Structure 1
């Protein structure tokens, strides 16, 4: 286990114990030597962790401590890099730039060993098969979701029919070939899915919709789970 991973795991383990825990117990739980436990506790204290106790009496971490520099396990760092690269490659312009800026900011405060690991990371994102999706400006959709605002637009369905909609947007699905707005549709009085590339004449109404987006998302997920369970039952 890398030293940064080990220290992070020790910190997380101490947080799980409200009462003093012995060095021997920590060593056994983490699968390391007692001497390493003492050395890593000294490292955490040097970084500002308020760890009370001493050998033979046990240790307890006082609440409120955050590491002064970001620390991630190897897999956490790989997940962060892969996810950010996916957004940079698949997101619209503003979101892609934000992903690259976020990764740059995180890199700046990482310890040297993790920064090197990030620079040498070999997880790559392949080219997107949906080139036309990059032309769709999703920022107005994200902003409407963020602020709980109604949207108006014209929507073209698969048959080519165009209808005018007023919706309550609460989620945006990112797929390899399409981006899908998930919303409550006032026109249909039900949840509906709208492909972003089929939305035209988008209008910001400036009006807040009357329900919490978290509740809408919860209800939509419940309906999806029910539909999936029904489809599974039909196959039995």
Structure 2
């Protein structure tokens, strides 16, 4: 995490609390050492952020301190909140952590009117629908896509039939309800779609492949455009 981003998160954490918080609690939340927290607090105080510290109790931020407003309209902020909530519930585990962090930052500077709307849950994405196992699988698949690594999957199709495939993962597509892996099947020598909730197991083969103009997610999607 870059220092500028960490300092922003530190101010956000302090601003969101009425009671003091210790350096140890801050270090555990931000996953850095207590020494780093001490340095960051000092840097913020030198830059004019009104942080109060008391030995044995912790740090608190002056309740009148306001962060500079983001240059977004009310509609844009609501769109960002809704999008972050959707990624938090439906995205992979890495993206979900990013969504939580983004929500904290956005909420910290929301106008009071929008905070009240958000608390009334006008735009609700139920978290009980979240599947942590699928989120981790999606994260592993995304890593394979980004690294262009061939993988082996054990897959169960709609008829409950099992198969083992060596595939080159090209991208993940969210069709509205289910995530689908778009891949090039080495057995069929053609594109294939695999719903990630039907992938039983995943093994990375550590074999890199090359994306081509005729073998990519963009090329796959272009075939639908030609028939539309």
Q: Aligned with 1:159: secondary structure?
A: coil
Query: Aligned residue for 1:119?
Result: 115
Q: Pick closer, same or farther for the CA change 1:76–1:202 going to 2, 3 Å.
A: same
1:36-115 pair list within 5 angstroms: 70-108=70-108, 110=109, 114-115=110-111
Q: Is the 8 A contact 1:129 1:176 kept in 2?
A: no
Q: Aligned with 1:120: secondary structure?
A: helix
Point out 4+ residue stretches in structure 1 off by more than 6 angstroms: none
Q: Is the 8 A contact 1:168 1:184 kept in 2?
A: yes
Q: TM-score, normalised by structure 2?
A: 0.58
Q: Aligned with 1:220: secondary structure?
A: helix
Shift of 1:81: 0.7
1:138-191 alpha-carbon deviations (Å, 9 max, x no partner): 210111122222221111212222222122212212345422111111121111
Structure 1 unaligned spans of 5+: 1-67, 230-236
Q: Aligned with 1:76: secondary structure?
A: helix
Q: TM-score, normalised by structure 1?
A: 0.56
Query: Aligned residue for 1:174?
Result: 174
> How many aligned positions are there?
156
Query: Aligned residue for 1:135?
Result: 133
Q: Is the 8 A contact 1:130 1:178 kept in 2?
A: no
Q: Is the 8 A contact 2:152 2:205 kept in 1?
A: yes
Q: Is the 8 A contact 1:149 1:168 kept in 2?
A: yes
Aligned Cα RMSD in Å?
A: 2.9
Task: Determine which structure has more spread, i.e. the larger CA radius of gyration.
Answer: 1
